[in-house]
Amino acid sequence: MLTDTHVHLNAPQFDEDRQEVIQRAFDNGISRMINVGFNRETIPSSIALAEQYECIYSTVGWHPQDAKDMTPEDLEWIEQLCRHPKVVAIGEIGLDYYWDTSPKDVQDVVFRQQIRLARKLGMPIAIHNRDAHHDIIQVLREEKAAEVGGVMHCFSGSWETAKQCLDMNFYISFGGPVTFKNAKQPKEVLDKVPLDRLLIETDAPYLTPHPYRGKRNETAYVKLVAEAAAQIKGLTLEEIAQITTQNAIRLFDLK
Ligand SMILES: [Zn+2]
Ligand SMILES: [Zn+2]
């Protein structure tokens, strides 16, 4: 019983074989998937998937890369969709200083608006952070994100940063990179994250784990992430599956 807490099953990379990909996830023991809707195109298709499959849930939010396109109407739209029974979090939201497709000050405003919305609605938030550790922590702190908590998706920061997130009621989620031989830091951080705050994900079709690195990622491979986590924590695959699934159920209030 595994849970993929961050996946993009509505991405065009799955247009040819989406149903088979979801079936392979079931066949590999993945019982719940949280699909991410993060802009005007992906929000409706993510919700449609969640309506089609009982075990798929959806987030809604505005990605920092698209921050410059978000209008006040979009924010109202997100607020309305948060009342949908299959919507479980606001995300992915945050800051992305790697691609830099939206100006930093615009990303900052859009990020803060969505944290305020999450606090108003009492929804957890899913955080995307690329090369922005310092500013992410500062915004989360200033906007009192600890009130709702959430998840740091595909965490890539230091233990120092992880600790600050844990202090603000966040879970730490790990993906494919913890399976890479040379990924020292994520493995060290995973080792230190308390078991009751640990989540796993694929971020498929991106961030494919070893030994499929370079190919398209898919939800079934969350098992490889779970195996790596089990090895690092000195637990069995079954124990890690149960712990991370219970954590996901608690954070996202899943069935
Ligand atoms: Zn992301
Ligand atoms: Zn993502």
Starting from the CA of residue 132, give the closest ligand: 1
Contact by Cβ (8 Å): 205, 13: yes
Residue 123 CA, ligand 1 centroid: distance in Å: 18
Cα-based torsion angle of the residue sequence 132, 136, 137, 138 in order, rounded to the nearest 10 degrees: 110
Residue 127 CA, ligand 2 centroid: distance in Å: 9
Condensed to tens digits (0 to 9), the pLDDT of residues 22-81 reads 999 999 999 999 999 999 999 999 999 999 999 999 999 999 999 999 999 999 999 999
Residue 79 CA, ligand 1 centroid: distance in Å: 21
- Token pair listed for 15: 């247009």
Residue 67 CA, ligand 1 centroid: distance in Å: 14
Sign of CA dihedral 248, 250, 253, 255: positive
Condensed to tens digits (0 to 9), the pLDDT of residues 161-206 reads 999 999 999 999 999 999 999 999 999 999 999 999 999 999 999 9
Q: What H or E segment, with its residue span, contains residue 32?
A: strand 30-37
Helix and strand tally (H, E) in the chain?
A: 9, 8
Residue 129 CA, ligand 1 centroid: distance in Å: 7
Confidence of residue 247 (pLDDT cuts 50, 70, 90): very high
User: Residue 156 contacts by C-beta under 8 Å, 6 or more apart in sequence?
Assistant: 129, 130, 177, 185, 186
Condensed to tens digits (0 to 9), the pLDDT of residues 69-115 reads 999 999 999 999 999 999 999 999 999 999 979 999 999 999 999 99
**Residue where the block lists tokens 């940063």:** 161
| Residue 100: per-residue pLDDT | 78
| Residue 149: per-residue pLDDT | 98
Contact by Cβ (8 Å): 93, 112: no
Residue 16 CA, ligand 1 centroid: distance in Å: 23
pTM value is 0.97
Residue 174 CA, ligand 1 centroid: distance in Å: 12
- Token pair listed for 87: 């919507």
Starting from the CA of residue 203, give the closest ligand: 2
Maximum pairwise Cα distance, the chain? 48
Distances (CA, A) of 3 to 32, 81, 99, 213: 5, 23, 29, 21
Q: How many Cβ atoms are within 10 Å of 32's Cβ, its own excluded?
A: 20
- Token pair listed for 223: 């098992």
Nearest to 70 by CA among 112, 11, 130: 112
Q: For residues 105 and 109, give the distance between their C-alpha atoms in angstroms, rounded to a whole number.
A: 6
- Token pair listed for 145: 């994100």
Starting from the CA of residue 96, give the closest ligand: 1
Residue 8 CA, ligand 2 centroid: distance in Å: 6
Residue 147 CA, ligand 2 centroid: distance in Å: 23
User: Residue 108 contacts by C-beta under 8 Å, 6 or more apart in sequence?
Assistant: 95, 135, 139
Q: Tell me whether strands 170-174 and 198-200 are parallel, antiparallel or unpaired.
A: parallel
Distances (CA, A) of 221 to 21, 30, 196: 11, 10, 22
- Token pair listed for 142: 């200033």
Q: How many Cβ atoms are within 10 Å of 194's Cβ, its own excluded?
A: 9
Q: For residues 168 and 145, give the distance between their C-alpha atoms in angstroms, rounded to a whole number.
A: 7
